Amino acid sequence: MNATNVDPAELAKFSELAHRWWDVNSEFRPLHQINPLRLDWIQTLAPLKGKQVLDVGCGGGILADAMARAGAHVTGIDLATKSLKVAQLHALETQTPHISYREVSAEALAAEQPASFDVVTCMEMLEHVPDPASVVQACAALVKPGGWVFFSTLNRNAQAFLFAIVGAEYVLNLLPKGTHEYAKFIRPSELAAFCRDAGLQTQASRGLQYNPITQRYWLDANTRVNYMLATQREV
């Protein structure tokens, strides 16, 4: 394992909350709410039925589980032991088909089984690792030539600071204080550059918006705060 590319404090944050992953009214509510939106967008570009899919930084399995229910054969990986246990238990309890979870880093799995997935997803995870470019490289190595890799993270600008940290953590209490660290946010241009360097071509992007009054999320072209990038590995 590339033991250097992990921040133990980040894993501890998620492990502490692990028992609440599947409580839709918990700190993980935003992930539950955006899940259908991101699943839909992924599926419009890369239909998942019957595909080999890897979810990097899967946490309690919110997206991994939904992709398996959409017909994919899903492997979820994370380094937070408790979160993975919760993910496994949830899959057992709700009898999710074709899903397995492993405690392994993206870098280590890439060395073990390169070019073995049709689709790789890595959502809301890059902003928690010391070296996001290394994770992007690993995702590129894990996907088959021509396969899709999806990322989502937080942009780095004044609006993102205001919405993702001040708004979400301090005003609206959507997320625990300290969930996000501004310096680790990644501009779309930076993420696209990591992707290019890894042999991934950016094909599309979407921004995620939230209305605190209606408490609804939606996708549009505005990538100023939270955004997703769809990329394809060169053939």
Residues near ligand SAH, by CB under 6 A: 5-6, 10-11, 14, 31, 57-59, 62-63, 78-80, 83, 105, 123-125, 128-129
Question: How far apart, in whole angstroms, are the C-alpha atoms of residue 32 and residue 168?
Answer: 15
Least spacing, CB of residue 10 vs ligand SAH, in Å = 5
Give 79 or 119: the residue with its C-beta nearer to ligand SAH: 79
Least spacing, CB of residue 218 vs ligand SAH, in Å = 17
Give 103 or 234: the residue with its C-beta nearer to ligand SAH: 103
Least spacing, CB of residue 235 vs ligand SAH, in Å = 27
Residue closest to ligand SAH when measured from CB atoms? 59
Question: How far apart, in whole angstroms, are the C-alpha atoms of residue 38 and residue 25?
Answer: 19
Placement of tokens 């894990």 in the chain: 142
Please name the residues in contact with 200: beta carbons below 8 A apart, sequence gap of 6 or more.
Answer: 136, 139, 140, 149, 231, 232, 233, 234
Beta bridge partners of 207: 220, 227
Give 138 or 192: the residue with its C-beta nearer to ligand SAH: 138
Instruction: Please tell me the total number of residues recorded for the chain in this structure.
Output: 235
Q: Is 89 exposed, middle or buried (0-12, 13-18, 19+ CB in 10 A)?
A: middle
Least spacing, CB of residue 85 vs ligand SAH, in Å = 12
Least spacing, CB of residue 5 vs ligand SAH, in Å = 6
The single-letter code of the amino acid at 21 is W
Least spacing, CB of residue 175 vs ligand SAH, in Å = 10
The answer to whether the beta carbons of residues 119 and 150 sit under 8 Å apart is yes
Give 175 or 195: the residue with its C-beta nearer to ligand SAH: 175
φ, ψ of residue 202 to 5 degrees: the values are -75, 125
Give 184 or 196: the residue with its C-beta nearer to ligand SAH: 184
Give 57 or 147: the residue with its C-beta nearer to ligand SAH: 57
Question: How far apart, in whole angstroms, are the C-alpha atoms of residue 27 and residue 177?
Answer: 10
Q: Write out the two tokens for 133.
A: 């470019």
